Chains A and B, each alone.
Chain A
Amino acid sequence: MSQKVEKLDGFEGPGFLATSLDKAVGLARKNSLWPLPFATSCCGIEFMATMASTYDLGRFGAERLSFSPRQADLLMVMGTISKKMGPVLRQVYEQMAEPKWVLAVGACATTGGIFDTYSVLQGIDRIIPVDVYVPGCPPRPEQILDGVLKIQELVQNESRRRRESPEYLELLASYGIE
């Protein structure tokens, strides 16, 4: 069953709907996310299950995987990010165009998980800002779907001016991203 898209509030007449730009853009963005799967380990296999026939991420308008960061708007980090991989992840994030969202899937991406070791980055939020965290080691496909739905909620309700706001620029600056 695919997701039902709610009708927007606004002034409606025959053949037209007048609503605020924010709402229209939010709706469009929400239902056409292009995720970039940054799958490194075990969670990546569960992501494959999420994409495959049984769970089918395509039902939520996020079917088109974009392997190029330039054309993606959702970065899904799945799996352990080691310190060797950290700079690569950051570079991928920096290459993505605004607006962009980040989903940290699994315990490793969130906090380093059971790998409290010298070689593992203890959570990707040390190098890039994260919007939604999905717990689990690895999370079930339903959980990953739930994470994507949470992202969709953020996307729909985000103000169109957020990416230019001083708060957002400050957030990026705190990660040293220009």
Chain B
Amino acid sequence: MNSTTNEIIKEKEYTTLNLGPTHPATHGIFQNVMKMDGELIVEAEPTIGYIHRAFEKLAERRPFSQITPITDRMNYCSSPINNMGWHMTAEKLAGIEIPKRVQYLRVIIMELSRIADHIICNSVIGVDSGAMTGFLYVFQWREDIYEIFEELCGARLTTNIGRIGGLERDFSQKAWLKIERLLKDLPGGLKEFENLLVRNRIFMDRTIKCGPISADRALAYGFTGPNLRAAGVDYDVRVMNPYSSYQDFDFIVPIGTNGDTYDRFMVRENEMWQSMSIIKQAMEKLDRLDDKTSFHAEVPEYFLPEKDEVYNTMEGLIWHFKIIMGETQMPKGEVYHSVEGGNGELGFYLVSDGGRTPYRLHFRRPCFIYYQAYPEMVKGAFLSDAILTMSSMNVIAGELDA
């Protein structure tokens, strides 16, 4: 061996791979610049902000009732939860008591949208691990949920459902029929979807130990929601700080152990079953309630009057005008309210100075906080695992970038 061979062995060379901002595998627009050692990721550097839409600034210029459409577009996979979260924040500020019936109706809407959210996330995990069938198959149940929303509020995706003080209108007979049909059909469909993936050798090999995170690290990175529960921490806002009468319901908070993609998938899968059970319980509770008609609190200063009243009475017209123009009095104060969104603790920090718009509105967006852990989770993993990890974290660009 002569000395020249040693000179040939150079330092290890890394490739830089640019993933995104528009790339089919990123599910939204975030950029990841990855330093690759062959197929292995040495370092990932995420860049975000590609659909920054200035929600917080926009909210400072809008009357309270007009902020709901902004919250719709945050986590657009489960808009109704965002809407309800915002309504409850404003109600907390104004001290509005919501009738039990409305609270249960809200629970039904929120759980339906949780199912819709998890269907997207889980079916996309399937697509990324090579099973397109599941996606095409479960999307029909998602369409059913959309149809229910359409029946409730007229919109499918960005629902703008409900108002401060209650719901815009009562559930129609048709909506109840559709919910019942969904509850009858979905279990079979979901079961079939689970049969396709849960004990599937290929799927298990692909997802187990893929992008794991320990409970400690998950907490340090501010994880909440299914991703935290997959790591083994049973934190659920619905249980810890019950809102909208979640304390009346009996449900299990599913948790995982390893915090890997498979656990995240399974936690979401089980949450869908729990959501169905919550909806059934809510329907039973509604049957037992004496109140069969109320769909909003009696707060004329915040809740828009019926159209009939607006057209025919002076008082109705004045309230309508005042609410639409944002001239109703909101109390001064600071309030934080959080709900269990599709991805975790969705918080609203609202500062009101008594004016027509919020003085400051900060959204605690779960995606934004936990997506920072991504470089750590994919370090040393294969590139294809990084894609699966990303889809199992359910990062929603609208929520991430605000």
Known interface pairs A41-B76, A46-B157, A52-B136. Does A117 touch B54 (Cβ–Cβ under 8 Å)? yes
Known interface pairs A40-B397, A42-B158. Does A52 touch B54 (Cβ–Cβ under 8 Å)? no
Chain B contacts for A88, CB-based, 8 A: 21-22, 50
Chain A contacts for B120, CB-based, 8 A: 45, 48
Q: Is A118 an interface residue (CB 8 A)?
A: yes
Q: Is A175 an interface residue (CB 8 A)?
A: no
Q: Is B372 an interface residue (CB 8 A)?
A: no
Known interface pairs A79-B51, A117-B58. Does A49 touch B139 (Cβ–Cβ under 8 Å)? yes
Q: Is B307 an interface residue (CB 8 A)?
A: no
Which residues of B, 370-402, contact A by the 8 Å Cβ criterion? Answer: 397-398, 401
Interface-side segment among B140-148, B222-230, B252-260, B352-360: B140-148
Interface-side segment among B23-31, B100-108, B212-220: B23-31
- Decide if B52 touches A67 in the complex (CB within 8 Å): no
Chain A contacts for B69, CB-based, 8 A: 114
Q: Is B77 an interface residue (CB 8 A)?
A: yes
Among B24, B29, B139, B143, which residue has its beta carbon within 8 angstroms of that of A67?
B24
- Decide if B21 touches A46 in the complex (CB within 8 Å): no
Q: Is A100 an interface residue (CB 8 A)?
A: no
- Decide if B53 touches A54 in the complex (CB within 8 Å): no
Among A40, A44, A49, which residue has its beta carbon within 8 angstroms of that of B143?
A49
Chain B contacts for A79, CB-based, 8 A: 51
How many angstroms between the C-alpha atoms of A138 and B51 in the bound complex? 16
Known interface pairs A53-B140, A67-B23. Does A120 touch B54 (Cβ–Cβ under 8 Å)? yes
- Decide if A45 touches B139 in the complex (CB within 8 Å): no
How many angstroms between the C-alpha atoms of A65 and B212 in the bound complex? 32
How many angstroms between the C-alpha atoms of A120 and B398 in the bound complex? 13
Total interface residues on B, using CB and 8 Å?
Answer: 35
Q: Is B174 an interface residue (CB 8 A)?
A: no
Q: Is A4 an interface residue (CB 8 A)?
A: no
- Decide if A54 touches B158 in the complex (CB within 8 Å): no
Q: Is A169 an interface residue (CB 8 A)?
A: no
Known interface pairs A42-B76, A46-B156, A49-B142. Does A115 touch B136 (Cβ–Cβ under 8 Å)? no
Known interface pairs A42-B158, A45-B76, A67-B23. Does A80 touch B143 (Cβ–Cβ under 8 Å)? no
Q: Which residue of chain B lies nearest to A91 when distances are taken between CB atoms in the complex?
A: B22
Q: Shortest distance in angstroms between A137's beta carbon and chain B's nearest beta carbon?
A: 6
Q: Which residue of chain A lies nearest to B158 when distances are taken between CB atoms in the complex?
A: A42
Q: Shortest distance in angstroms between B114's beta carbon and chain A's nearest beta carbon?
A: 15
How many angstroms between the C-alpha atoms of A15 and B50 in the bound complex? 54
22 contacts across the A-B interface (CB closer than 8 A): A41-B28, A41-B51, A42-B72, A42-B73, A42-B76, A42-B158, A45-B77, A48-B139, A49-B146, A52-B136, A52-B139, A53-B136, A54-B140, A67-B23, A82-B49, A82-B51, A82-B53, A85-B50, A92-B22, A115-B54, A118-B54, A137-B158
The 6 closest A-B pairs by CB, nearest first: A52-B139, A117-B54, A67-B24, A42-B76, A115-B53, A85-B50
Residues on A close to B: CB < 8 A?
38-42, 44-46, 48-49, 52-54, 65, 67, 79-82, 84-85, 88, 92, 114-115, 117-120, 137-138, 140
Known pairs A79-B51, A137-B158 / 10 extra A-B pairs, C-beta < 8 Å: A39-B28, A40-B397, A42-B73, A52-B136, A53-B137, A53-B139, A82-B401, A115-B54, A117-B54, A119-B54
